[in-house]
Amino acid sequence: METALTKVKSEEYGGELIQLVSFNLEKEEYGINVLMVREIIRMLNITRVPNTPHYVEGVINLRGKVIPIINLRKKFDLMDAEYDKRTRIMVMEVVGELMGFIVDEVSEVIRISGKEIQPPPPVVSSGIEQECMAGVINQAERLLVLLDLEKMFSADERRLFSNVA
C-alpha cells in the first residue's frame, strides 16, 4: 500500500543517487539525508532544562550557539543505555533550527539510488511514529530505516525547542 509520504519520497528521489549518514540505536540501523547533518560530535556536558518533554536531554553550547539535545532512544520509546565512547550527537538542521540528536553510534556515509527506497511497512512495531519514516532500504543483509526528522515533531514541539534554545 503506497501512502502519500511514500509517493512523495519516491518521486522526490527517483533514480538519483543520494547520500545517507547511517547510525545505530539499540542494534537497529537508521539513515538520514547527509544534507541535513551539520556535524557529528562526541558527547558533551548537557545542561538540563526544566519542563521539557522526557526525550529532551537539555541544551549544549556549541561554539556560542545553544542547541537543544534530543535523546532518540527516548523519543522512539527504546530502553535507556549508558553513553559510551561510540555515543555521538548528530547536529542537524530541522525546519530551520539546529538540533542535536543522541545516537548510539554513527556508522558510515552510504550512497544509494532513490529507487532502492521502499515504502515503510503499514504496521511499525518499533515505536517509531509512522510519519517520520520516509522508507526502508534493503541493502545486502541489512535493513536501514530512512527517517524524515522534519515530520518527527509537531508544530508545538518545534516552538518549544526554539524557546529552549
Q: Tell me the mean pLDDT per 10 residues along the chain, length 165.
A: 38 73 93 94 94 92 94 90 95 90 95 87 57 81 86 72 62
User: pTM of whole model > 0.85?
Assistant: no
Per-residue confidence (pLDDT) for residue 7, from 0 to 100: 38
Per-residue confidence (pLDDT) for residue 156, from 0 to 100: 72
Cell representation of residue 22: 547511517
Instruction: Calculate the CA 155 to chain-centre distance.
Output: 17
Per-residue confidence (pLDDT) for residue 1, from 0 to 100: 35
Separation between Cα atoms, residue 126 and residue 66, nearest integer Å: 31
Per-residue confidence (pLDDT) for residue 129, from 0 to 100: 54
CB-CB contact of 76 with 128 (8 Å):
yes
State the amino acid at position 11 in one-letter form. E
Separation between Cα atoms, residue 24 and residue 43, nearest integer Å: 15
Which residues, listed in sequence order, are joined to residue 133 by a DSSP beta bridge? 147
